[in-house]
Amino acid sequence: MNFVIFDDERRSNFFPITYTRSTGDLRIGILKLRQRISSYFELTETNVIVSSELEAIYKERHENWKVNEVTAEVTIFINSRIKIDENSKKAILELKQGECLIKDKTVLVAKCTSDKKKIASENINSLFSGLKKIENPEINCWKYLWELIAENAEYIKRDFNDIFYDKDNYFETELGTIVINPYNVWIGDGTIIKPGVVIDATDGPVVIDENVKILPNAVIIGPVYIGKGSTIKVGAKIYKGTSIGPKCKVGGEVEETIFQGYSNKQHDGFLGHSYLGEWVNIGADTNNSDLKNNYKTVSVFFYPNKKEIDSNSQFVGTFIGDHSKTGINSTINTGTVIGIGCSLFGADLIKNHIPSFNIGTGTRVVEYFLEEFIETAKLVKKRRGLQFSDSEKVLYSKIHKQVF
């Protein structure tokens, strides 16, 4: 059976993080949404449908994937936003050709053939227009970024039990390292854990992937995931519900926060109930609020509505898009949304919504010229042995043009 994982028109619900990536590549728990779906169906190849804006960059980065291509054979199309579990897996496999599962008018899964060879997420629903629609209230999907944060701790536990748990897992640590509840800990090959580190997996698993460095006196309290090649700095305090993607450097105090990957928060300062994209740099002693003084629910700027909406959540920190940065001693208010390519500094409170490609203080920002942004982005990626590609330049140029 052929499987395709598709984004739909709700990709903008997850801006600014999905400006530069597929919805299926959002991280929650240990895995990305797409990876979790692939794991449940044991898929050996990756077929995705993404926005036409992302097509070139995905083909460039993933030469072995089929991107925005469909075949004439019978295919199961799975929405990347689906909350996959055993029940939804069973419903998907029982689906008959010519049927689709829907909830709240959203197509979650479809089984059909296509007379088209190419398609993008913005017109994906044209494939499903003639199918028999079956309402399935038991299958849910992700709608907002703050939902990922709220459920991250539980998904770390789920992914650990489904993928990483091994009763025979054996690891050695330096003398002076304390590991509490070691059967709830998984440590990958090549990882270095220095003396004085405390790993407490009492309330949830701690998964430390391959080639990670945990420097002296760091404290990690599960459930936590630390991705490949990341570094946890001296004296860091990593609390439950935190997922750190690959190649990040993290210090200070972090709680219930998701790092997509390749981002740095090396220094002291608090980051809580937040979601960071890639190539984000958090300056020394930057702090964010994740709880209002009146303990009311937090309003968050929502891109499809172009205004703030109530998250119905009491704990919401900040959402920061790719290649954005804060200067030293920056302060970020509860529920702040920072677009991609921003550079913020100064003593003024950063609050509400900072549109993409802006530079300045919390109260006064001006356009961050595209040429200057690209010059900095090239330097940032070069430090990690990577290049800022032509496809990236085209994508960021389009987004910059939308803003200005």
Where do the structural domains in the chain lie, given as residue ranges? 2-143, 146-403
- Per-residue pLDDT of 339-381, as tens digits, reads 999 999 999 999 999 999 999 998 999 999 999 999 999 999 9
Residue 213: HSE in the Cβ half-sphere, 13 Å Cα cutoff? 11
- Per-residue pLDDT of 55-77, as tens digits, reads 999 999 999 999 999 888 899 99
User: pLDDT value at position 138?
Assistant: 86
Percent of the chain with pLDDT over 90: 88
Between these two residues, 51 and 116, which has the higher pLDDT value?
51
Residues 6+ apart with CB under 8 A from 33: 23, 24, 25, 26, 80, 81, 142
Average model confidence (pLDDT) for the chain? 94
Confidence check: pLDDT of 223 > 90:
yes
Task: Specify the pTM.
Answer: 0.95
Cβ atoms of 29 and 363 closer than 8 Å: no
- Intrachain domains 2-143 and 146-403 with the same fold: no
CATH code assigned to 146-403:
2.160.10.10
- Per-residue pLDDT of 166-183, as tens digits, reads 655 656 666 678 999 998
Report cis status (omega within 30 of 0) of the bond before 216.
Answer: no
- Per-residue pLDDT of 286-313, as tens digits, reads 999 999 999 999 999 999 999 999 999 9
- Per-residue pLDDT of 105-143, as tens digits, reads 899 999 998 877 899 999 998 889 889 999 988 899 999
Confidence check: pLDDT of 186 > 60:
yes
Give CATH superfamily name and number for 2-143. Spore Coat Polysaccharide Biosynthesis Protein SpsA; Chain A (3.90.550.10)
Flag the least confident range among 1-10, 213-222, 334-343.
1-10
